Chain A
């Protein structure tokens, strides 16, 4: 097999896992991020303080260190995870911290009167969040969410150092074996760039869809 074929084969082997871990982490991060933001915005002060500290820790430590700590340090606290599980969990925690801040900004940007009107009409906090605040903020937070999703695609590359057989792991393996670093790294760069472009395209489509659904405009 020549270098090109080997590289393409490596891309084909690594790409599904990269996409899988990325989508799973984005989904987990979005869900947990909304919950953290809700807890911080509507919950008691103590809970807010605890969550703020956790978010600050996650934001203050480089992702590569977090991934290392979770995978290699996990067994010391009884958390013996496979590389893929550790990778998914590390990226999800990282995503949660940043997604929660985006949603928190979204909550803060909605005029207080919209919540007060709901409260006086008898809607519960959960109903207000699900039926009013989240749909209302959807359009304004989407660019920030898409931006983070793009960053997370690229952060998956870091999972190669905890031996997750994702794109960077498989392709750089070919580079190490053949010394064709220029070719393999170019293939890697193009792969991530394609993923990022696809993400941006999907975000634009979603933005138009949300605009139609929430504002009645295209």
Chain B
């Protein structure tokens, strides 16, 4: 077996008496898209932040292609829940700043690259707008363009749609889905189960700072054996199942499949269906 692209070994993060991450072992191969799911406070975002080097780890190690990454070394790019665009710069300037200062590209080179990246997220026409003049979805797409412009080897998405409404969520998820198709290695923290089910090749379920389930996405969602995962998915599906009847043309086939053919008998999922 080849050495994993990303390896987290016995990763620990402890703050005072609180164990935030508890001996996490995670190996990700190149080109894999890993969906990190779990309840709030389970450590998903902390895991991403520790991998990115934004939060210090108190045990274990992180290796990307055999080396310990440091923030800003170009290995890892991250897309945040709150976009974190710089408000005084236009969309294009947000993308060009690091190209100019870090990559030392000329003004025209950086502008050319920024416009290519903005075009890729379908925002070229808004290149001269400032973040405050863009919708949340557009801001997040600019943030994605800014991250991708630096050609990171691994991209971490930390709940990229958590602060967006469903329509804006869709436009951002479409961009991430397109990125997955290019073979980019990605870790995606999301509460959008349908998205994780349709895009991630692998799903990892965390709770209380530990990985409880790790496997191929379909297997994790359909044959959920782990009780905590079952409860988590059931709660999520309950919310979806009681919602207005979804359009049949939804682009989340895996999720539809789960709703229509709930796994296993006696699982709590069945009792949550309307009219059950």
Verify if B74 is at the interface (C-beta below 8 Å from A).
Answer: yes
Q: Which of B76-84, B210-218, B232-240 contacts A (4 or more CB under 8 A)?
A: B76-84
Q: Known: A122-B98, A122-B102, A216-B130. Contact between A117 and B72, CB under 8 A?
A: no
- Give Cα distance in the complex from A123 to B100, angstroms: 10
Question: Does the CB pair A120–B71 fall under 8 Å?
Answer: yes
Q: How far is the CA of A180 from the CA of B72 in the complex (A)?
A: 68
The total of chain B residues at the interface (CB under 8 A) is 29
B98 touches A119 (CB 8 A): no
Interface hits, A7-45 → B, CB 8 Å: none
Cβ 8 A contact of A114, one of B74, B84, B98: B84
Indicate if A77 sits at the interface (CB-CB under 8 A): no
Residue B3 interfacial (CB < 8 Å): no
Among A122, A123, A131, max chain B CB count under 10 A is at A122
Asked if A215 and B86 sit within 8 Å, CB to CB, the answer is no
**B189 at interface, CB cutoff 8 A:** no
Measured between beta carbons, the chain B residues less than 8 angstroms from A101 are: none
- A123 B77 Cβ-Cβ under 8 A: no
- The one of A116, A138, A215 in contact with B54, judged by C-beta atoms closer than 8 angstroms, is A116
Kindly state whether residue A214 has any CB partner on chain B within 8 Å.
Answer: yes
Chain A residues with CB under 8 Å of B71's CB are 119-120
Q: Judge if B73 is at the interface, Cβ distance under 8 Å.
A: yes
Taking the closest CB of chain A, its distance from the CB of B156, in whole angstroms, is 9
**Whose C-beta in chain B lies nearest to the C-beta of A130?**
B101
Closest residue of B by beta carbon distance from A216: B130
Pair A123/B133 contact, Cβ less than 8 Å: no
B52 on the A face (CB < 8 A): yes
Point out the residue from B72, B74, B85, B150 that lies within 8 Å of A119, measured CB to CB. B72
Given the interface pairs A113-B84, A136-B86, A136-B88, the reply to whether A120 lies near B52 with Cβ below 8 Å is yes
Q: How far is the CA of A121 from the CA of B74 in the complex (A)?
A: 7
CB A127 to nearest CB in B, in angstroms, measures 5
**Chain A interface secondary structure, helix, strand, loop or mixed?**
helix
B102/A120 in contact, CB under 8 A: no
Alpha-carbon distance A127/B73, docked complex (angstroms): 15
| Known contacts A111-B84, A132-B86, A216-B130; is-contact A120 B76 (Cβ 8 Å) | yes
The answer to whether B72 touches A116 (Cβ under 8 A) is no
Which among B76, B102, B130, B143 is the interface contact of A215 at CB below 8 angstroms?
B130
Is the Cβ of B150 less than 8 Å from the Cβ of A121? yes
Q: Could you tell me if B98 and A111 are in contact, using CB atoms closer than 8 angstroms?
A: no
Q: Looking at the complex, which one of B80, B102, B129, B133 makes contact with A121 (CB distance below 8 Å)?
A: B102
Partner of A117 from B73, B80, B102, B133 at Cβ < 8 Å: B80
Contact A121 B54 (CB under 8 A): no
Instruction: Give the chain A neighbours of B66 by CB distance below 8 A.
Output: none
Instruction: Specify which chain B residues have a CB less than 8 angstroms from the CB of A118 in the assembled complex.
Output: 86, 98
Report the nearest A residue to B102, measured CB to CB. A122
A114 to B82, CA, bound (A): 9
CA–CA, A132 and B85, complex, Å? 10
Chain A residues lying within 8 Å of B76, measured Cβ to Cβ, are 120
How far, in Å, is A155 (CB) from chain B's closest CB? 32
In the assembled complex, the Cα of A131 lies from the Cα of B89 at a distance in Å of: 10
Cβ contacts under 8 Å, B80 to chain A: 113, 116-117
Does B97 reach chain A (CB closer than 8 Å)? yes
Complex-state Cα separation, A138 to B71, whole angstroms: 27
Quick one: closest A residue to B79, CB to CB? A117
Most buried by A among B54, B78, B88, B98: B88
Per CB-CB distance, the 4 closest pairs between chain A and chain B, nearest first, are: A214-B88, A122-B102, A113-B84, A122-B72
Q: Which residues of B are at the interface with A, using a C-beta cutoff of 8 A?
A: 52, 54, 71-74, 76-78, 80, 82, 84-88, 90, 97-98, 101-102, 129-130, 132-133, 143, 146-147, 150
25 of the cross-chain contacts (CB-CB < 8 Å) are: A111-B84, A113-B84, A116-B78, A116-B84, A117-B80, A117-B84, A117-B146, A118-B98, A120-B54, A120-B76, A120-B77, A121-B77, A121-B98, A122-B102, A122-B150, A123-B72, A123-B97, A123-B101, A127-B101, A132-B97, A135-B88, A136-B86, A214-B87, A214-B88, A215-B130
